[in-house]
A and B are shown apart, each in its own frame.
Chain A
Amino acid sequence: MSLSAAWSDRATPARSWHNRLLPYSLLTPAVLVTVVIVFLPMIEAVVTSLYEFVLFKPNAARFVGLNNYIKLVQDPVFWITLGHTAIWIGLTVPLQMGLGLVAALILNKEFPWRGLARALVIIPWALPSVVIALMWRWIYDANTGVLNEILLRLAIIQSAVPWLASPDKALYAVIATLTWQGFPFFAVMILAGLQGIPRSRYEAASIDGASAWRQFRHVTLPGIAGVLATAGLLRIIWVANSIDVIFVMTGGGPGYATQTLPLYAFVKARQNLDFGYGTTIAVMFTLLLGIVVALYMARTSREVER
């Protein structure tokens, strides 16, 4: 430290001016590219949401002010998809976390093939969403799917269930798939948290005669609370945004049964080419998600200060 202080003392004024600008010039490429490919499109999205804009339509764009937003609040499908989004996040994230916690607790024990088990558990995380979606469509298939076959053999169901075609089951079938896709992320994060808990705490607890449950409740849970909160917030954002799996599995159907808000925006723009309204839905979704993002950012900004 003293060396560098001496070094900068010797520097000429021109040199120190140069040094003060240096971090900004180092940042320029990254910031510039992000502004062009993220912030400009985002501003364009907000502007587009104020227009009636259907792609490939002659004299396409017409300024309509907040009309799209008024139309949105009156759109019954908006409220349906908003409800689905709530169920989607409210079930998927806790299920992923629960399964991830169980996996992490098991994989934290000592057994000879632990390394292999840890590597294999990560596989769902590494697979492309499209492949996951198609794979589960095959598993859920009403006529030849393996899930129906197993359940029929075990006499849990009496006749084959069209999992993805029935309006009251499709959403839960997709949630099960997303739970499967996302639990390794939690398992890995929680595992890292578990390894950070000092062994001595468990030893102290067990000398005090604490049962396994009480050790879990009073040593393990407090030890991983931070990880759970951070990973949970990250995952809410990720799950809310994730539309590729639903899109490939059901396309939002049957009817609107598996349509979430971001998927509704995507489908509106892609199939109806209604970019004005589609973007309006996307902007509204972003505003709602912004609440969670703000919570996460507040957590992380403490990290940046250091």
Chain B
Amino acid sequence: MIGKPTLPRRILTTDLPALGIVLIAIGPFAWMLMTSVTPQERLAAIGVTVAPFDWSLENYVRLISRTSFLGNMGHSLIVAGGTTILGLFVSVTAAYAFSRFRFPGRKLLMLQFLLVNMFPVVLLILPLFVMMRRLGLLDTHAALIIANATVAIPFSVWMLTSYINAIPKSLDEAAMTDGCSRLQALWRVILPLATPGIISTGIYIFITAWNEYLYALTLGGRNVRTVTVAVQTLIGEYQIEWGLLSAGGVVGALPATLLFLIAQRRLIGGLTQGAVKG
């Protein structure tokens, strides 16, 4: 532990194992990426090309021109965006209440939100299907947004509570002695300060909703088909053309993965906080 190891030693004990872990983590995805840039005939005849000069975007062109994949991306965007807005909108005031007030029932209500997040999807998906059918909401964006909100709302209540906890209470009090009401203090002082936290919570909700599959499969349909469901249908319609399927997988995974990488520092800070303290 004391003193710096020599370079060859560091490479052997640190860089190589790190490279191994990174390869395990990205290897399968890299393989799919290479599959997606291998032309269909070549894939059938020889297999995946590792050499960059043989790569082509043929599969991506077919994906865009022959399937409705762009439209599916649009549906995913509406569902994920809608879930994010609904989730944040409903949770902000709740998180403020949990953070700033001590009132009878606080602990129970907080645990209630935690408990909701643990309910198995299977338990909710069947009654939600029956409910949506009764309301005539099957195969609409609203159905998917509502279903995703079952996860998004409790999650963002907890995340936002911990972000608002980090903002000193003296700021609300200062605002209120200056003549603000509680709600004005929340709106003018706390919300601006909590914006980074709200954005990272929103990004996480967006990613989760974008990647969601079971609700989209069960409650969606012909009109509203999100990317995750569309990727799977590429199998049926084209008898497992792995090149096309891989292209769909890469495009479908891209938005969420990029967002995750961009926001990862802040996201992970928020996500690990609870676990490390506990």
Interface residues of chain A, those whose CB is within 8 Å of chain B, are 3-4, 7, 19-20, 22-24, 26-27, 29-31, 33-34, 37-42, 44-45, 48, 99, 102-103, 106-107, 109-111, 113-114, 117, 119-132, 134-136, 138-139, 141, 144, 146, 149, 180, 183-184, 188-189, 192-193, 196, 202-203, 206, 215, 226-227, 230-231, 234, 237, 240-241, 243-244, 247-248, 262, 265-266, 269-270, 275, 278-279, 281-283, 285-286, 289, 293, 296-297, 299-305
B167 partner residues in chain A, CB cutoff 8 A: none
B114 partner residues in chain A, CB cutoff 8 A: 297, 300
B123 adjacent to A285 (CB under 8 Å): yes
CA distance A188 to B273 in the complex (A): 11
Q: List 19 A-B pairs, Cβ < 8 Å.
A: A30-B153, A31-B94, A38-B124, A102-B21, A106-B14, A111-B15, A120-B22, A122-B268, A124-B29, A126-B260, A128-B231, A130-B228, A138-B245, A188-B268, A203-B2, A206-B1, A266-B125, A279-B127, A293-B118
CA distance A135 to B235 in the complex (A): 12
Known: A127-B257, A139-B28, A285-B122. A134 touches B18 (CB 8 A): no
Within residues 88 to 132 of chain B, which ones have a CB less than 8 A from any CB in chain A?
89-91, 93-94, 96-98, 100-101, 103, 106-107, 109-116, 118-128, 130-131
A240 partner residues in chain B, CB cutoff 8 A: 120
B21 adjacent to A106 (CB under 8 Å): yes
Interface residues of chain B, those whose CB is within 8 Å of chain A, are 1-2, 10, 13-15, 17-18, 21-22, 24-26, 28-29, 31-32, 35, 47-48, 89-91, 93-94, 96-98, 100-101, 103, 106-107, 109-116, 118-128, 130-131, 146-147, 149-150, 153-154, 157, 173, 176-177, 182, 207, 210-211, 213-214, 218, 227-229, 231-232, 235, 242, 245-246, 249, 252-253, 256-257, 260-261, 264, 268, 271-272, 274-278
Nearest 4 pairs between A and B by C-beta?
Answer: A126-B260, A41-B127, A30-B94, A192-B272
Taking CB as reference atom, which chain B residue is nearest A247? B214
Taking CB as reference atom, which chain B residue is nearest A199? B1
Chain A binding surface, main DSSP class: helix
A27 adjacent to B107 (CB under 8 Å): no
A293 partner residues in chain B, CB cutoff 8 A: 115, 118
Kindly identify which residue among B131, B154, B207, B275 contacts A227, using a CB–CB cutoff of 8 Å: B275
B89 partner residues in chain A, CB cutoff 8 A: 29
A243 partner residues in chain B, CB cutoff 8 A: 121-122, 214
A303 adjacent to B120 (CB under 8 Å): no
CA distance A231 to B268 in the complex (A): 14
CA distance A131 to B127 in the complex (A): 27
